[in-house]
Amino acid sequence: MIVLGIETSCDETAAAVVRDGQTVLSSIVYTQIAHHRPYGGVVPEIASRKHVEHLPEVIAEAVNASGLGWDGIDAIAVTHGPGLASSLLVGLAAAKGLAIRLNKPLIGINHLEAHIYSIFLDAPDRSPSTLCPFLALIVSGGHTCFIQVDRIGAYHLLGRTVDDAAGEAFDKGANLLNLGYPGGPAIDKAARQGSLEFVTFPRGFVQKLHARMPGLIPRNCVSFSGLKTALLYHLKAHPLGSGPNADVNNLAASYQEAIVDTLVQRSSHVSESTRTMAVVGGVSLNKRLREKLAAMAEKKNLQLVLSAPQYCTDNAAMVAGLAFHKLADGPSLAQAMTLDAEPNLGIGE
């Protein structure tokens, strides 16, 4: 089964061709970062316009690079949420048009579920049937959550951020430190030259939950908005460029340590009754997070599973791969034409 996947939920325009949910034949990602960088974050209007401009060539390139051509495509999968509404709609429109033209099935995919699935791509010794059940930590620009994965399609939300996502904390911190966009890789790099103990920034351990999040255990949840505010106040007292208290590398290292320490301590708690933990999403590329998670996992005899680096950040291979497991119960082509963008789609709630 050959699936063409399409991903346009945020600022990456991506298409990929995947065989049998596992072998990635092609994965093309056009990153829009350069267009959003001047604004210090993703501008939805620009994102959707860039998707319109680039998606046709990205899809054509993915099909060409797969070596199969259009005749080789058996089904089409597209991210329908969560994400930016106007960006999701571009992918959906393209996917619907292709499905009609090729007369092939079309299926909508949850972006968060696809991130979890990314651990199975190009990993022949790993499969959902052998790995499930496991705990997944999704750490991306828009989401931070702990999910119990019983099997593909059966999820249970165990905990989440009550405010900013981990990637958002990296991006906002980097902005305050003038390290540019996206902030995660910039802070990761600067922190390698800095001291972790320069400033002790607050750890985001949630004590009480908001009333709008019933059913969640505070000890499974994190909060990162106070951390950003702490950095802001530190910089007000010690403006950048005015002496040793404002050393950017040291601040990056201390700030990153607060995010990483929070995530690792919470992971240690949430993984108490599991043997396997997967960590996925853009922030899972962070060097310090990987080091500390590996140390925690070794101590607790926990199997730690990460995606290949190219599948940590947004891509369409994870969309096409996951679709393989869903197509048998998928909608008819006529039903699929009613597929709509779901900007706030959740997982396991």
- 286 touching ligand KG4, by CB under 6 A: yes
β-sheet with 303-306: strand ranges across:
154-160, 144-151, 134-139, 276-280, 303-306
- 194 touching ligand KG4, by CB under 6 A: no
* Alpha helices by DSSP H, 103-152: 111-117, 128-131
Whole-angstrom distance, CA of residue 61 vs CA of residue 16: 9
- 182 touching ligand KG4, by CB under 6 A: yes
Nearer to ligand KG4, 171 or 247 (CB): 171
Do 248 and 173 form a contact (C-beta atoms < 8 A)? no
Nearer to ligand KG4, 26 or 140 (CB): 140
Residue of 118, 140, 144, 256 interacting with Zn ion (CB under 5 A): 140
Least Å distance, CB 219 to Zn ion, is 26
- 164 touching Zn ion, by CB under 5 A: no
Query: What sign does the CA torsion over 80, 223, 116, 320 have?
Result: positive
Stretch that binds ligand KG4, among 129-137, 139-147, 149-157, 267-275 (CB under 6 A): 139-147
Helix, coil or strand: residue 33: helix
Nearer to Zn ion, 142 or 194 (CB): 142
The residue count for the chain = 349
* Alpha helices by DSSP H, the chain: 33-36, 44-66, 85-102, 111-117, 128-131, 166-176, 183-191, 225-237, 248-270, 287-300, 317-324, 333-336
- Considering CB distances under 5 to 8 angstroms, the limit depending on partner class, which of Zn ion, ligand KG4, none binds residue 279? none
Nearer to ligand KG4, 105 or 182 (CB): 182
Q: What number of chain residues touch Zn ion (CB under 5 A)?
A: 2
Residue with the shortest CB distance to ligand KG4 = 184
Residue of 164, 168, 261, 314 interacting with Zn ion (CB under 5 A): 314
Residue ranges in contact with Zn ion by CB under 5 A: 140, 314
